[in-house]
Structure 1
Amino acid sequence: MSQPEDMPDRARKGRGAVSNRGSRFLAQTRHLVDDGWGSAEEEWEQAPQTEITYDTARSAITYNKSPDLPFDRSLNPYKGCEHGCVYCFARPGHAWLGLSPGLDFETKLSVKPNIAQSLIDDLRAKTYKPAPIALGTATDPYQPIEREFGLTRQALEVLAAANHPVAITTKSPLVTRDIDILRDMAKKGLARVAMSVTTLDRTLARHLEPRAATPDKRLAAIAELTEAGIPTNISFSPVIPALTDNEIETVLKAGREAGATSASMLLIRLPLEIKDLFREWLDQHYPDRADRVESLIRQCRDGKLYQADFGTRFKGTGAYADLINQRFKLTKQRLGFEKREWVFDLSLFRPPVKAGDQLSFF
């Protein structure tokens, strides 16, 4: 009797990762096999459904000591992200949960329903000193499930009441829903938004970020935020050699015309499981240039697919990386983007008040 044959993974409609390969912590590997009954084909036809679990947060704020980040604290209401961006550097975090950084990352999501109360507790701590909180540094705070749970808005309400500065990174126009909060915060020098626009090519965007908004809608969100007086950044991240780097000038120009006052860029990073997931994605969607893309990434990383060194991990090294960074710098200057972005007023902060607190007369 013949043994079942392994079947190759292939892209699924509406999902970014091609496979659901196991994490670095699992002893077992998973294989899709043809059992002769056509069940594998049926599984491909049925797009993986999103599953939600609940995670009680003991603390809302996460701290870092990275010397090449402009912030030392962040807040993420969700684990996993339904946008499905194949390049997302947060994917390996799912391995710590015993899940795959592949399809599991974009289908098995975790929400923190007590995030607002945990944030209040963090801000009330006697040792707490205010500094800008980065919202959405790992997963997108305005991914589709935010419409249902509203945890990002709850966190913004806490920050607004405490006059605490926040910097948001997203690729979703849903951020405009919270203009009523962000407008007032921006007037006090307490809020900025970075809108990620990776490409203006709708087909490429659909493959790279299958459940994120189209590039046109993101640019429209920049215009709406700007009209409301909220300082907005266009983030051309990640830049992918031989795939998106030809759009540096056009994406920044579109962002400037939409009203963005600043611009930022990060070179693609492929740590841990992401390097294999990204190569699978390239072979599926852009097989004609897969080797070229990988070769140029290695040229920007001293022959590797990833370098964790501070100072170079975001910009890369070598001639090709230097060319990308120079083009970006010159385009920013030509279009008149601001040089400084992280400027906030910390003097207005007041810890949240709880019932029973003695109120101040001043």
Structure 2
Amino acid sequence: MRPVAFQSDPETLARAELRRGRGSVSQASGRFEPTARVGFDDGWDQAEEDAPAPLRTTVTADASRSVLTRNQSPDVPFDRSINPYRGCEHGCIYCFARPSHAYLGLSPGLDFETKLFAKFDAPALLRQELARPSYKPATIALGTNTDPYQPIEREHRIMRGILEVLTETRHPVSIVTKSHLVTRDMDLLADLARDNLVRVFLSVTTLDRPLARAMEPRAATPARRLAAIQELAAAGIPVGVMAAPMIPALNDHELEAILTAAEDAGARSAGYVLLRLPIEVKTLFKEWLNEHYPDRAQRIMNRLRAMRGGRENDPEFGSRMRGQGAEADLLALRFRQAIKRLGLNQPRAPMPSTQFRRPGRDARQMSLF
């Protein structure tokens, strides 16, 4: 057990006035830290003029020298992905990427949504990787870890640069986002769509705006996400909806309503994922429940355990996305019946890799010959 360092630092206390507009309610230490910080009230009232300012978002350059991440997971339909940013300002309390901040010596709590890292040279690095003679094209997934269209993308435009490279090279790509900002790049997406080289999914977790505000504080409202689906579909861009995560006794009753609203907006495909609570997310989510929904926190966790074989998280391939047991089976049945009724997930041609062409040399890079 790690030693505990008691601190009266207001950031550690994560007082409500400091974290307004943020998802996590704490600044819990990551699992690799030698001590665990616990905030407490020392009884001394702080003068108003000395009170710390609300937490601000900072962006630091990510020094990674490669941009493609490979995986061999049997329950995801891709083997490579790009994450332009580490951390995510959307602040979704359930985000399974939060534990990755612990590798940086930072908190998966408030640090994850305020101390962000950007891969500013991602487009150039991607160009280099695609130019390698050994590279074999297959769909690149974006938005599988953190959202590529989170608010700081407006300024940094890294995702835009990545899409420019993929459009130039005619490379297939899939995107998952919660942001209406994806519509900014409809010119590139429509170009890719003409050759069946793109799929876009909007993640719609709830249609209840107050719940969305509490659970995903800096993400687009549900109405804006549905509007993005409508705009993308009108531009001829294949678009779908991810009803994820489904949280028992909190938003799972909305599954059919979410799918129906997305289909009405133009979605032609759909998916869902049961809530996952890996590592630190487990504690952060329970803290959030106790603050926002104390009357049903225990019921939510009990039902989740029933769908996870008695555990709060199931990391096993095959069951980690869907759960197990009678309640999980019922959720899966409801999803199947809804997509059948709505005509979603009709067979369509897979995105081809045959149109791929290796990128030319970046004009900014001098040749040795």
TM-score (norm 2): 0.92
In structure 1, C-alpha distance between the alignment counterparts of 2:273 and 2:183, rounded to whole Å:
24
Q: What's the offset of the Cα at 1:9? A: 5.4
In structure 2, C-alpha distance between the alignment counterparts of 1:6 and 1:50, rounded to whole Å:
19
1:201 aligned residue: 208
2:132 aligned residue: 125
The answer to which of 261-270 and 338-347 deviates more is 338-347
1:262 aligned residue: 269
Q: Of 108, 111, 128, which residue of structure 2 is paired with 1:104? A: 111
8 Å contact kept, 2:7–2:39? no
Does 1:245 find its partner at 2:243? no
Q: What's the offset of the Cα at 1:44? A: 8.4
AA partner of residue 175 (structure 1) = V
8 Å contact kept, 2:286–2:297? yes
Alignment of 1:54-203 (within 5 A): 54-203=61-210
In structure 2, C-alpha distance between the alignment counterparts of 1:249 and 1:211, rounded to whole Å:
25
CA deviations on 1:270-314 (whole Å, 9 max, x unpaired) are: 000000000000000000000000001100111101111111100
Q: Of 291, 295, 299, which residue of structure 1 is paired with 2:302? A: 295
How many matched pairs? 355
Q: Of 26, 31, 54, which residue of structure 2 is paired with 1:19? A: 26
In structure 2, C-alpha distance between the alignment counterparts of 1:236 and 1:226, rounded to whole Å:
18
8 Å contact kept, 1:57–1:114? no
Q: What's the offset of the Cα at 1:220? A: 0.3
In structure 1, C-alpha distance between the alignment counterparts of 2:14 and 2:117, rounded to whole Å:
26
In structure 2, C-alpha distance between the alignment counterparts of 1:285 and 1:72, rounded to whole Å:
37
1:353 aligned residue: 360
The answer to which of 334-343 and 46-55 deviates more is 334-343
1:335 aligned residue: 342
In structure 1, C-alpha distance between the alignment counterparts of 2:311 and 2:349, rounded to whole Å:
32
Q: Of 329, 342, 346, which residue of structure 2 is paired with 1:322? A: 329
Residues 263 and 151 (structure 1 numbering): CA distance in 2 closer, same or farther, change over 3 Å?
Answer: same
AA partner of residue 141 (structure 2) = A
In structure 1, C-alpha distance between the alignment counterparts of 2:7 and 2:45, rounded to whole Å:
12
CA deviations on 1:8-66 (whole Å, 9 max, x unpaired) are: 75653200001010011111122223344434998987421111111123111100000
8 Å contact kept, 2:83–2:143? yes
Unpaired runs of 5+ residues, structure 1, are 358-362
8 Å contact kept, 1:142–1:172? yes
Residues 46 and 339 (structure 1 numbering): CA distance in 2 closer, same or farther, change over 3 Å?
Answer: farther
AA partner of residue 322 (structure 1) = D
Report percent identity of matched pairs: 54
Q: What's the offset of the Cα at 1:139? A: 0.3
SS at match of 2:38: coil
8 Å contact kept, 2:83–2:148? yes
2:3 aligned residue: none
Q: Of 315, 318, 337, which residue of structure 2 is paired with 1:311? A: 318
Q: What's the offset of the Cα at 1:355? A: 5.8
Alignment of 1:209-220 (within 5 A): 209-220=216-227
In structure 2, C-alpha distance between the alignment counterparts of 1:142 and 1:341, rounded to whole Å:
26
In structure 1, C-alpha distance between the alignment counterparts of 2:7 and 2:105, rounded to whole Å:
27
Residues 278 and 355 (structure 1 numbering): CA distance in 2 closer, same or farther, change over 3 Å?
Answer: closer
In structure 2, C-alpha distance between the alignment counterparts of 1:219 and 1:341, rounded to whole Å:
22
CA deviations on 1:85-121 (whole Å, 9 max, x unpaired) are: 0000000000000000000000000001110110011
CA deviations on 1:142-174 (whole Å, 9 max, x unpaired) are: 000000100000000000000000000000000
Does 1:276 find its partner at 2:251? no
Q: What's the offset of the Cα at 1:127? A: 1.1
Residues 288 and 60 (structure 1 numbering): CA distance in 2 closer, same or farther, change over 3 Å?
Answer: same
Residues 303 and 45 (structure 1 numbering): CA distance in 2 closer, same or farther, change over 3 Å?
Answer: farther
Residues 47 and 331 (structure 1 numbering): CA distance in 2 closer, same or farther, change over 3 Å?
Answer: same
Q: What's the offset of the Cα at 1:340? A: 4.4
Q: What's the offset of the Cα at 1:339? A: 4.0
Unpaired runs of 5+ residues, structure 2, are 1-5
The answer to which of 202-211 and 54-63 deviates more is 54-63
In structure 1, C-alpha distance between the alignment counterparts of 2:51 and 2:215, rounded to whole Å:
19
SS at match of 2:36: coil
SS at match of 1:23: coil
Residues 14 and 341 (structure 1 numbering): CA distance in 2 closer, same or farther, change over 3 Å?
Answer: farther
8 Å contact kept, 1:6–1:31? no
Residues 148 and 30 (structure 1 numbering): CA distance in 2 closer, same or farther, change over 3 Å?
Answer: same
In structure 2, C-alpha distance between the alignment counterparts of 1:157 and 1:59, rounded to whole Å:
18
In structure 1, C-alpha distance between the alignment counterparts of 2:146 and 2:38, rounded to whole Å:
28
